[in-house]
């Protein structure tokens, strides 16, 4: 790893997923679990339901996108350009989940990550994902939108 970050961090103060200065943020706290690994523990409350009694797939995808992006191997701004999510087991509401992400490969243009969601202390993966994040020049991106 080329840069050092605190063990617990948010990637941007106004991020919807993790930003402490965003009043509507989901408040996800990213935790460095190793040089190339980030995790977050999240309580899935009843406001994040999809099918009766179970977590919404979009919310689980958000958790994965957030934690997987936190694995960034450099402080360069980046955007998600690919996110593939496989729902293997239903995640019940009112449960604690552990979201983990591990860097798979770093390239000049970006990096690929593997992620998973486990319910409670379970060994079995409930949701797995792969993603690609591309490094961007934010000033150029803003001019295009
Ligand atoms: Zn964030």
> Is 66 inside a domain boundary?
yes
pLDDT band at 145 (very low <50, low <70, confident <90, very high): low
d(CA 6, CA 32): 8
Of the two residues 140 and 36, the one the predictor is more confident about is 36
* Span from the CA of 41 to the centroid of ligand 1 (angstroms): 14
- Distance from Cα 92 to the centre of ligand 1, integer Å: 24
- CATH number where 35 lies: 3.10.129.10
Q: How far from 10 is each of 5, 19, 99, 117, CA to CA, in Å?
A: 10, 6, 15, 19
How far does the centroid of ligand 1 lie from the alpha carbon of residue 125, in Å? Answer: 23
Domain annotation covers residue 77: yes
Residues with CB under 5 A from ligand 1 (ion): 11, 15, 17-18
Predicted confidence (pLDDT) at residue 144 exceeds the cutoff of 80:
no
Residue 55 lies in a domain: yes
Q: Does the residue 88 lie in any domain?
A: yes
Residue 138 lies in a domain: yes
| Range(s) of the domain holding residue 64 | 8-144
pTM, entire model = 0.90
Residue 83 is assigned to a structural domain of this protein: yes
Domain count, the chain: 1
Q: 3-class SS at 144? A: helix
Distance from the alpha carbon of residue 5 to the mean position of ligand 1, in angstroms: 14
- Assigned domain for 1 exists: no
What pLDDT is stored for residue 143 in this prediction?
78
Q: Is 132 exposed, middle or buried (0-12, 13-18, 19+ CB in 10 A)?
A: buried
pLDDT tens, 33-89? Answer: 888 999 999 999 999 999 999 999 999 999 999 999 999 988 889 999 999 999 999
Asked if pLDDT for residue 3 goes beyond 80, the answer is no
Sheet containing 110-119: order of strands: 8-9, 30-34, 37-44, 95-106, 110-119, 127-135, 78-87
């Amino acid at each position: 790893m080329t840069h050092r970050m605190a063990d617990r961090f948010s990637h941007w103060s106004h991020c919807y997923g993790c930003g402490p200065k965003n009043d509507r943020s989901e408040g996800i706290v990213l935790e460095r679990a190793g040089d190339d690994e980030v995790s977050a523990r999240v309580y899935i409350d009843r406001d994040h339901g999809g099918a009766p009694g179970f977590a919404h797939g979009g919310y689980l995808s958000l958790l994965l996108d957030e934690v997987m992006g936190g694995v960034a191997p450099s402080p360069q701004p980046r955007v998600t350009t690919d996110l593939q999510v496989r729902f293997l087991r239903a995640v019940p509401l009112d449960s604690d989940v552990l979201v983990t992400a591990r860097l798979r490969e770093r390239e000049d243009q970006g990096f690929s990550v593997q992620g998973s969601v486990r319910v409670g202390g379970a060994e079995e993966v409930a949701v797995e994902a792969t993603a690609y994040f591309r490094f961007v020049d934010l000033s150029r991106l803003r001019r295009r939108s």
